A and B are shown apart, each in its own frame.
Chain A
Amino acid sequence: MKIVVAIKQVPERDSPLRIDATGKWIEVSGIQFGLNETDAYALEAALQLKEKHGGEVIVLSAAPERAGATIREALAKGADRAIHIECNDLGLRDALGVARLLAAAIQPENPDLILTGLQSEDLGLGQTGVIVAELLGLPHSTLILQVEILEGAGPQPRIKVQRELEEGWFQTVELPIPALLTIQSGGNKLRYATLMGIKRAKTKEVRRLKAGELSAATTSAVTLDQVSLPRRQKSTQMLGGTPREAAAALVDKLKLEARVL
């Protein structure tokens, strides 16, 4: 089983947010980056499938050079090799533009399965995987928690996946492979890289492609014009002072003002 896992490097959750000079994105100098959480679950799902059925796990990322560290981290966890589409103008590409880059890099690999996280923590589009499937003409399913390979299911291999629905509901979906799945968090327990894994990662292949070499169209249909800090809609009473003072003030408010105690 050959599996491509598309990953994204995103700012760490607690990163300070300062809007940059263009007004179109945040100041990225000095902030820490890491692997997008649902992509970590996609990688974990791929590694577990490989452990069970054999094969190869290839991580793929379209990102500036700094993402190299995140790609090495994925290799240290157990991916076999990586493809890094070097791209410094991600912000100028919409979801279709990024998906075109990924699809162009995936196509010659002919994988059985393409996994990616459900949604990125920075842009939160939740679309790239589904668009890649559409561009490659593959069936897809989203919000996946579990993946099972159906053995002896006929001439075309099939998989059965567990998909999350709203409000605590689930469903299973059977689909032929090759297919693309977007992975939800929580389906598996994430592994840490071992020392041995980190050592091995240094010698694993990272193939670098230039975005310009992939002949993917760069026209965009939607444009992010401006970012801003949200305006507070509700007037929250912030209670200050020491923790003890704030706690006492809150108990008073809850009793006398909100009357919920």
Chain B
Amino acid sequence: MNITGAALIMRLLERQGIGVIAGIPGGANLPLYDALRGSGIRHVLARHEQGAGFIAHGIARVTGRPAVCFGTSGPGATNLLTAIADAKLDSIPLIAVTGQVPRAMIGTDAFQEIDTYGLTIPITKHNYLVRSAAELLEVIPDAFRVAMSGRPGPVVIDVPKDVQSQTVDVDALPAPGVADSRPPLDASDVTRAAALLNGAQRPLLLVGSGIIAAAASGVMRRLAETASVPVAATLLGLGAMPAAHPLFLGMVGMHAARYTNLLLDECDLLVALGVRFDDRAVGKAAAFCPRAKILHVDIDASELGKIKQPFLGIEADVGEWLRAMLPQVAPRRRRAWNTRVRQQRAAYPLAMPGADDPRQPYGIIRHLAAIAGDDVVIASDVGQHQMWVAQAFPFSRPRQWLTSGGLGTMGFGLPAAIGAALAEPARRVVCVTGDGSLLMNLQELATAAEEGVNVTLVVLNNGTLGLVRQQQQLFYGARYHASHFHAAPDFAAIARGFGVAAYDLNETDDPMTALTESLRRPGPCLINVPIAAEANVYPMVPPGAANRDMIDDTNANGGMHADLSA
């Protein structure tokens, strides 16, 4: 058959199972949009390419499958960069297809020409500049293979406009790209690991997003239950173990409950599964788990020994490894260790002041959880509200929690929630956000209204860049600068202006009814929740400090804890 490059891309994307593409058309990807019009793929018109990128994030994060976004050349591509970089740090299979100026104009500083290939080298797993329509037959399936194989990640396919328009004679379409086979499991590694775990007195599991990417939550939980091993999670590992599980210790790191970090100090074996020892999780790396041997399992060999030298480092699919381990793990009660866990949990719990009051941060999150139930998907932006949700929301299943962990991108939440709602239309998606973060991709309210997605935005509105304000208070002698917003946008009015329903807790005596309605009415909705600017996230490990050196509102006196080396 004779087919254009653009139509070929659409056929190959359809064959990869892509049902929705978020993007924005422009001069250099018009042939692609012409072909999209005649395809079976639904297009979602974002209002900024970064929004398109994060809509694709939402789809990929909630389904675990690759998702696609489109942007044109030049500013279309540069606007996608933040979403691509975010996918790299959080290991999300994102595929960005960008338009490029025609081949003959590459290198001439043509209108909207930018070196997309060069710009995306450090923020992708791999990238392609397609030089002929025929190359697409290899490039598109290969891009999906790369995005899905091993540790997932983003791929960029840059397609010059004339390659999109070029016709090519195709005999047969290639098979869709699939993930490479996993590295072979070394049986002796499993035996050694099982011996380590069986011999440990105070073992502890630390699970990260690798557990969720490997769909290994169930087998991880069985192993923990069999050997009575408590489980802590990184920010992106939340949901791998139900929050209510008696063995679950919550999140580790900078804003963990104090007991969680203290127990990590006591453990004699840390079984680290699908984690990368990020500084926000481990604090000062040299002081992390000082009494423990580390058993580190990751699909990415370069993570073994990158930050912490493991006693035993194993390159493996963590699910396959856990399934091999399970029969070799001795059933144990570990009474002494679990008694110690209970004592520490009781002595140093997470304090949640205001948990009963829906006008306070912990209160709105706890009430939201009670009303929305386990089916809800929670997205967040980045800042204090993100940490409050991570601490207080009872996540019960993998892929329930969508947040920008590694890159920490403010503006992630709204478009990611839209993507999640598009992928899972039967669920309510709640984006807990802040007034600072929401303004960074506010324009996607138009996309939400247009698509009628079941997204509720809960805006914790403190009129500040809260986490910045908090750090200025604690570590810069309360010298506040550029962290307070003097203009106070009326978010409910703004939402209504976009055609999105809105509630404002400033304007009601009955916050519970407003919250309940905002979570139950079909279509997009915003609820403005004014909170005190002075509310801080506690406890907190000062940047660069050891995790045991947490501060809270009883010992946080500005400047005393400043260690600004990190």
**A and B part of one assembly:** no
